[in-house]
Amino acid sequence: MRTLTGLQPSGKLHLGNYFASIKPMIEKQNNSDDEMFIFVANYHAMTSLSDAKSLKANTLEAAAAFLSLGIDPQRSTFWVQSDIKDVLELYWILSQLTPMGLLERAHAYKDKVAKGLEAHHGLFSYPVLMAADILLFNAQKVPVGKDQIQHVEIARDLALKFNNAYGEIFTLPEAQVAQNVATVPGTDGAKMSKSYKNTIDIFSDAKTLKKQCSSIVTDSTPLEEPKDWQNCNIYAIAKLFLNEQEQANLQDRYSKGGEGYGHFKMYLNELTWNYFAPAREKFQYYMNNQNEIIDILHHGAKKAKKTSDEIMAKVRDAVGIY
């Protein structure tokens, strides 16, 4: 079984990235026999990040974060998207099979435009590039959040169209969603996203983390009154760190009253800071030794290219590219 995932280096990693994508990937890497393909999606990041200096810096920072959080380049194939140029060629070839109506129905595009992102071709055709990422490595499973399920379905549709036209070359991928953490809420209760500026960042300093946790939206229930944990943004985030007994204990604290939301925000702040303490130390090491990151990524790209070369040779032959 081959599993593939990518994460954009368009900003600092946050809890939504970790619990919806990175943590499940690390667990699968460490506890299964699956082939793991993991990449930093810097081409995708260009849809929302136009500053060259920031993109380069963010790419290395994202790679350092992946490694610090547990991605093992010995167990997984780990690279930067732009190191495998085949993905752009496949993106163009798949574009010839992509109906406009299919992309016009993509809700992620509509959502991002509604949030103020510029409506350009790169953003519109994003699902085709994502399809190329997936199909270029014949990935069978693609761990995603709920908002990305449609994009995996588009990749599957394009694989079917290509196979029907040219023969069985591409594997049909399936989205893999952990239902209990498919959508991690942000500080405002909406989906946690860099685009919405409602994140709690993994590698922020103590002051920033405290500020982000303190900004979580709550209701006006008085301190002495019981609190509704079922509809509380703080609880919805905190439970991701907790086992069943710990969740039950936190629910009891909410139900008893006598504690304000400030206490629960402080608790979440401590949970987050302590949980990522080992990763934070590794992250600082990698950021101070960036040549090590570059060597790891180049090695991963060589491994990835062996797979992509095989698949692209079949694709070129099928469509008549000399």
* Binding residue numbers for ATP: 8-10, 16-17, 145-147, 184, 191-195
Question: Do the bridges between strand 174-176 and strand 76-80 make them parallel or antiparallel, or are there none, so unpaired?
Answer: unpaired
Q: Look up residue 269 and give its two tokens.
A: 């702040």
Catalytic residue among 194, 227, 239, 265: 194
* Distances from the Cα of 311 to the Cα of 40, 89, 151, 195, 314, angstroms: 21, 12, 21, 34, 5
- Using CA atoms in the order 205, 209, 211, 212, what is the torsion angle rounded to 10 degrees? 140
Q: Look up residue 231 and give its two tokens.
A: 């509809």
| Per-residue exposure over 68-91, b if at least 16 CB sit within 10 Å of its own CB, e if not | bbbbebeebbbbbbbbbebbebbb
23 is catalytic: no
Catalytic residue among 23, 28, 141, 191: 191
Catalytic residue among 28, 112, 141, 227: 112
Q: Assign residue 34 a region: left if phi > 0, alpha if psi is -120 to 50, beta otherwise?
A: beta
Annotated binding site for L-tryptophan: 133
Q: Is 303 helix (H, G, I), strand (E, B) or coil?
A: helix
Q: Is 7 helix (H, G, I), strand (E, B) or coil?
A: strand
53 is catalytic: no
Angle at 15 between CA 9 and CA 18, to 5 degrees: 65
Q: What is the 3-state secondary structure (H, E, C) of 37-94?
A: EEEECHHHHCCCCCCHHHHHHHHHHHHHHHHHHCCCCCCEEEEEHHHCCHHHHHHHHH
Annotated binding site: 8-10, 16-17, 133, 145-147, 184, 191-195
**Bridge partners, residue 88, by sequence:** none
* Residue 201: how many other CB atoms lie within 10 Å: 18
Q: Is 87:6 a contact under the CB 8 Å cutoff? A: no
Alpha-carbon span 71 to 9, nearest angstrom: 16
314 is catalytic: no
Q: Look up residue 140 and give its two tokens.
A: 């069978």
Catalytic residues: 112, 191, 194
